[in-house]
Amino acid sequence: MSGAGSKRAVRDVNRRVMDQATRQRRARKALESLEQDNFHDDPHADLVMSKKALSLFQDHPEEERKAKRKSRTTEYYKQRFRKNFPQLLEEDAVQNPNPPNYLSAQTLNSLQPARHFCAVCGFSSKYVCVVCGTRYCSRRCQETHEETRCLKWTA
Amino acid sequence: MPVASVSSTFVLDNGACSLKAGYSSWSSPNVIPNSITKAKSEKRRIFIGNQIDECRDLSSLYFMLPFQKGYLTNWDYQKQIWDYMYGKQCLNVDTPSKNLVFTEPYFNFLSIQEGLSELFFEEYRFKNVFRTHPGDLTCYKNKMEHPEEPCCLVVDSGYSFTHIVPYVDGKRVRNATKRIDVGGKLLTNHLKEIISYRQLHVMDETYVMNACREDCCYVSLDFERDLTKAESRTESRDYVLPDFTNLRRGFMKSPEASNGRPEDSEQIIRMNNERFAVPEILFHPSDIGIQQMGIPETIAHVISECPEETQRWLYQNIVLTGGLAKMPGFRERILKDVRELAPNEFKVIVRLPEDPISYAWQGGAALADDPIFRELSVSKLDYQERGHQACVDKYYL
């Protein structure tokens, strides 16, 4: 028992505690990652198309050429309207500053108190990791958390 | 699915996840994934829209989506998908001889609106175009089914977000419309995240885990009770992952067969509290740190922002649409929670259409045959004379 206690004491001395801003940044990053489309790289990224191969994919090169005369290429539309979401938002703030608009349509903060769940197992949690502020519910989950995610995810 | 008949109007409910497309004379639309997909097993081609059905190995699919946060940002992808859809390989639509009913997101951005105008009239050269929002079509359809209701509250839970939209006398109350930033994409990504941390790395398996969410998740009617029950882990269910040789889509084992032990070559994940904790985010976004109201609270808030004389009518005609409305228990939970929040003397009625995904499309198909369609739509001639302003005057005033 005393051995475990002294071990903890040593750890406490070396412990780096994350400040509030870092915790928030980390939480925001976790939320942003939930918007991602893909978590792995393009599986075709390493492919290099030879010109020969390209012509194989076009079933009707003749027709294609004819169609191109009247229709614009996809490349045109890619360039013509190229705007990502933050750009659109910024533009909207100028063009459409009065509510109702995208920003004003966001629902309000909840009036109900937030509930807390263990980040490891998902059940109700009572405790908070002193280092990073992550929630856990039991000694077991705390150990798992410290071994895997605590401080390992910081930006 | 589609009937062979071809009418003069094409209806396209353009969702961020799937296109609901078909002629107004059809009884139901074709549902086509609104994405271009790359598979690691087939390096010689890409899969546009429903071509993905031709792909044998659906593991680690790479998605290229036209929409970002519910708004059209990748025009080259969208153009490719539309070209394919209108083309001979898919629905074979002769666009210059057709009218179009099209849905766009609420509070769409100006530059996207302009881009759409240009595409519809200059590229596809439709005769008449009516642009609207999925909720407007839902409200129209609801009015056909329940003509006695003067007001209607649409809850549209889609892939990117959830909108709560009140309609009074068929007109959208714009300044009371609210958005919750929780949709199917976020739920699937969250499920992937927790399963990857707790059991098996599935971060790359968006397609498989989305199916898993659809098969396993349900909305709890009493979250606290279910959570306590799940702690004993006796209610866990096994979900068998597909291997794409013998099994193309995963499935959930029956409670008796869910013993946590995979048979022969099976690969399983155990679904315990994940089954209801994931959809719970819709009702309490704060569970994962999104500081927003959940659906029932937002419904009560939206209705309180509407004129007082309309409030009782809104409470008694709540319509649920969008892919997430198909989750088991969704309607019951909303009814229960809204009942608790609504004033006692008001009736609360929550309606779940038979197919919440295509419900808005059905409304569009019906509207296309309504004489009012002519009045609402912008013709190519209008556009050629006045450009995008013609659309602004018709749709956005």
List, for residues B30-59, the tens digit of each pLDDT value.
999 999 999 988 888 999 999 999 999 999
Number of domains observed in the structure of chain B: 3
Q: Give yes or no for A80 touching B (CB within 8 A).
A: yes
Domain spans in chain A, listed from the N-terminal domain onward: 116-155
CB atoms within 10 A of CB B144: 12
Confidence of residue A49 (pLDDT cuts 50, 70, 90): low
Name the token pair of B328: 């088991």
Confidence of residue A75 (pLDDT cuts 50, 70, 90): confident
> Do B163 and B207 sit in the same domain of this protein?
no
The nearest CA of chain A is from the CA of B224 a distance in Å of: 9
> Do B85 and B171 sit in the same domain of this protein?
no
Asked if the model's pLDDT at residue B222 lies above 70, the reply is yes
**Contact, B391 vs B383, CB < 8 A?**
yes
- Specify if B1 maps to a domain: no
Confidence of residue A63 (pLDDT cuts 50, 70, 90): very low
Per DSSP, B78 falls in state H
Question: In angstroms, rounded to a whole number, what is the distance separating the alpha carbons of residues B112 and B105?
Answer: 10
Contact B38 A84 (CB under 8 A): no
Question: In angstroms, rounded to a whole number, what is the distance separating the alpha carbons of residues A87 and A90?
Answer: 5
> Do B130 and B144 sit in the same domain of this protein?
no
- Percent pLDDT > 70 in chain B is 99
The pLDDT of residue B50: 93
> Do B147 and B34 sit in the same domain of this protein?
no
Contact B174 A31 (CB under 8 A): no
> Do B299 and B173 sit in the same domain of this protein?
yes
Main-chain phi, psi angles of B251, to 5 degrees: -150, 160
pLDDT digits (tens, 9 = 90+) for B306-316: 999 999 999 99
The nearest CA of chain A is from the CA of B41 a distance in Å of: 9
**Contact, B396 vs B130, CB < 8 A?**
no
**Contact, B217 vs B237, CB < 8 A?**
no
Asked if the model's pLDDT at residue B273 lies above 80, the reply is yes
- Nearest chain A residue to B188 by CA distance is A34
> Do B19 and B149 sit in the same domain of this protein?
no
Nearest beta carbon to residue A43 from set B40, B189, B289: B40
- Specify if B4 maps to a domain: no
Contact B194 A122 (CB under 8 A): yes
Q: Give yes or no for A98 touching B (CB within 8 A).
A: no
Sheet strands side by side (includes B268-271): B251-252, B237-240, B268-271
- Specify if B286 maps to a domain: no
Asked if the model's pLDDT at residue B305 lies above 90, the reply is yes
Q: Give yes or no for A27 touching B (CB within 8 A).
A: yes
The nearest CA of chain B is from the CA of A87 a distance in Å of: 10
**Contact, B148 vs B120, CB < 8 A?**
no
Model confidence, pTM: 0.91
Contact A107 B43 (CB under 8 A): no
Q: Give yes or no for A92 touching B (CB within 8 A).
A: yes
pLDDT digits (tens, 9 = 90+) for B334-368: 999 999 999 999 999 999 999 999 999 999 999 99
> Do B103 and B147 sit in the same domain of this protein?
no
Question: In angstroms, rounded to a whole number, what is the distance separating the alpha carbons of residues B69 and B162?
Answer: 11
Asked if the model's pLDDT at residue A66 lies above 50, the reply is no
Q: What is the CATH number of the domain that holds B328?
A: 3.30.420.40
The pLDDT of residue A97: 87
Among B40, B72, B73, B304, most A C-beta atoms within 10 A, so best to mutate, is B73
Q: Which residue has the tokens 């750009």?
A: A87
> Do B117 and B35 sit in the same domain of this protein?
yes
> Do B235 and B122 sit in the same domain of this protein?
no
- Specify if B214 maps to a domain: yes
Residue type, B209: M
Q: Give yes or no for A96 touching B (CB within 8 A).
A: yes
> Do B192 and B141 sit in the same domain of this protein?
no
Q: What is the CATH number of the domain that holds B219?
A: 3.90.640.10
The pLDDT of residue B240: 95
User: Before A100, cis peptide (omega within 30)?
Assistant: yes
Q: What is the mean pLDDT of chain B?
A: 93
Range of the domain at B16: 9-134+357-395
- Specify if B122 maps to a domain: yes
Question: In angstroms, rounded to a whole number, what is the distance separating the alpha carbons of residues A139 and A145?
Answer: 10
**ipTM confidence:** 0.84
Q: How far is CA B105 from CA B108, B162, B233, in A?
A: 6, 11, 41
Nearest beta carbon to residue A100 from set B38, B107, B277: B107
> Do B259 and B325 sit in the same domain of this protein?
no
> Do B252 and B172 sit in the same domain of this protein?
no
User: Of A22-26, B86-90, B142-146, which range is least confident?
Assistant: A22-26
| Residue among B299, B14, B294, B327 nearest B152 (CA) | B299
